[in-house]
Structure 1
């Protein structure tokens, strides 16, 4: 097994090494579970595992897994079966007129959006709020010749993913979506600011995501079970 890479002359197979981290694109569905917004992950059941163990690993519970997968009893679980596992998704500030609305990213994963100009990740340590920043330079953008500006101009000038602190008030520049040749951003309150509307989208640039209806996402996952707990 190996990775096929493109060379000027031909495709060559590169051998994998023990411990190497692979980036795997996973198409997912995003139906609600018990009123919560989740991304459904297909988990291949290993030999010797139990429904309770899988529920513990992914931060859900046994009854949810049994119901989602049509299992009458935990003993009906079979090795090699693909189990529907719900992963809680981060909330975001993405506008409902954005081309990637609603972008649902579950805990412990990340995705590229805005024609690969923006990388967004979800981490429970950030209060399950989507954290986005410009993609690394080595990531090839699509459709656009170059990435548009990614700055918030008010109340302070910040680049996407950066924060500013003044008198205990911490603000960030959050991703709000994209369309045409534009990347939308909006200032977001992180902590310690007076409640004067800071943290809410300004003008017509964005509105807080309501996370309803259909969704799409292409997740790039490093599936280390401990990082998926929520």
Structure 2
């Protein structure tokens, strides 16, 4: 049988499975290197959980979790705060390249009495993973037999796509489609377009089903820290914060895609945050009107290197003095779930007007990051210059794809 016929047969099998509802669509990003990126999971709490319990469920820093959702980390005893069931949160993860596929494998789950793989996948992790994926990742021969206290690797979906969307910085969130969702509604909620989501997720049409997992690009501010910095390639989605430098520095994405970093609100022991040859501290900005324009001087963040906070002093002459810069508003740890909290992440500064930075009135913070100002493509994402990453859809597990290919190869001699 010629190769084109082979491809047609495989496509027919995949289409049949998709139509019959055997598998849900999911975005799979092949990869060929060992780099990683910042990514997010859209997660809805299945029960009331302490902040520390939720963080332990994904093996992440509780403070990093709170910051990503613009929750005030200075709240008293915030790690013991109980988050309500059905609250939607963004879970920050590291997206790696594992066996040629982008995924996160840092999460491990310790089984409890009465646990089943289906319950762990669907209830505990909200459909972000399937029972078969957990089974394959842990080489479980009999899924009906789980030992209490058994540690299971939980492979979670993620994508990088070179950290860009339409040539602009972006962080991708894996989102589980709900029954009430439409692609147009999801696009509106996350300030993108239906066309963009279709291109990113290789969708032939705008139809989505309950349980599908979409990769959603969230506009972000990218850093330009040196490669030897421990927080190299830090990228912060609009509307949230990233805590870095051992909890000493918090960075946010402000209007205009400017990365702004300032001392974090935690009481921790930190290295010096003063810019050299200046009395300015990290995040401080001064402005001075002159006949030639407006002199703007700022103390920015340059990365965390060997336990030290790198500060950078920059000065510029601008035609006019800028207005006050704004950062995403912080919220108290939620105790109840409003309709918005059950559906979407924290608002961006452009939605609520933001909160003024606590520095001089009328000051602005020049970007410490990089923003490529290019017009977006009329046909959605332009992708990246690297050819290593392409999109495969609609499989929820690479093991399913491999099994189907093997099935076709075995059956070909009999066709």
TM range (shorter): 0.5 to 0.7
CA spacing shift, 1:84–1:63, aligned 2, 3 Å: same
Q: 1:4, CA displacement in angstroms?
A: 6.4
In the TM superposition, what whole-angstrom CA distance separates every residue of 1:166-203 from its partner, at most 9, and x where no partner exists?
Answer: 22322221111011131111123577379xxxxxxxxx
Alignment of 1:185-196 (within 5 A): 185-189=311-315, 192=318
What is the match of residue 260 of structure 2?
131
Report the Cα distance in structure 2 between the residues aligned to 1:190 and 1:131, rounded to whole angstroms: 17
Q: Does structure 1 residue 3 correspond to structure 2 residue 43?
A: no
Q: Does structure 1 residue 171 correspond to structure 2 residue 297?
A: yes
Q: Do the aligned residues in 2 keep the contact of 1:57 with 1:225 (CA within 8 Å)?
A: no
Report the Cα distance in structure 1 between the residues aligned to 2:90 and 2:218, rounded to whole angstroms: 17
Report the Cα distance in structure 1 between the residues aligned to 2:190 and 2:215, rounded to whole angstroms: 11
Which of 335, 342, 348 matches 1:227?
348
Which is worse superposed, 90-99 or 34-43?
A: 90-99
What is the match of residue 148 of structure 1?
271
Q: Do the aligned residues in 2 keep the contact of 1:107 with 1:229 (CA within 8 Å)?
A: no
Higher helix share: 2
Higher strand share: 1
Q: What secondary structure sits across from 1:105 in the alignment?
A: strand
In the TM superposition, what whole-angstrom CA distance separates every residue of 1:73-98 from its partner, at most 9, and x where no partner exists?
Answer: 102x0123221001122143423331
Report the Cα distance in structure 1 between the residues aligned to 2:177 and 2:89, rounded to whole angstroms: 21
Q: What secondary structure sits across from 1:183 in the alignment?
A: strand
TM-score (norm 1): 0.68
Q: What secondary structure sits across from 2:261 in the alignment?
A: strand
Q: Do the aligned residues in 2 keep the contact of 1:3 with 1:15 (CA within 8 Å)?
A: yes
In the TM superposition, what whole-angstrom CA distance separates every residue of 1:131-183 from its partner, at most 9, and x where no partner exists?
Answer: 11111124xx6xxxx311011124x4211111112223222211110111311
What is the match of residue 214 of structure 1?
none
Q: Do the aligned residues in 1 keep the contact of 2:89 with 2:345 (CA within 8 Å)?
A: no
TM-score (norm 2): 0.40
Name segments (4+ residues, structure 1) moved above 3 Å: 13-19, 21-25, 188-191, 222-226
Which of 50, 58, 77 matches 2:190?
58
Q: 1:53, CA displacement in angstroms?
A: 1.7
Q: Do the aligned residues in 2 keep the contact of 1:118 with 1:135 (CA within 8 Å)?
A: yes
Aligned-residue RMSD, C-alpha: 3.3
Which is worse superposed, 109-118 or 43-52?
A: 43-52
Q: 1:36, CA displacement in angstroms?
A: 2.5
CA spacing shift, 1:132–1:4, aligned 2, 3 Å: closer
What is the match of residue 30 of structure 1?
160
What is the match of residue 183 of structure 1?
309
What is the match of residue 105 of structure 1?
236
Alignment: residue pair count: 186
Structure 2: give runs of 5+ residues left out of the alignment: 1-47, 54-79, 96-158, 321-340, 352-415
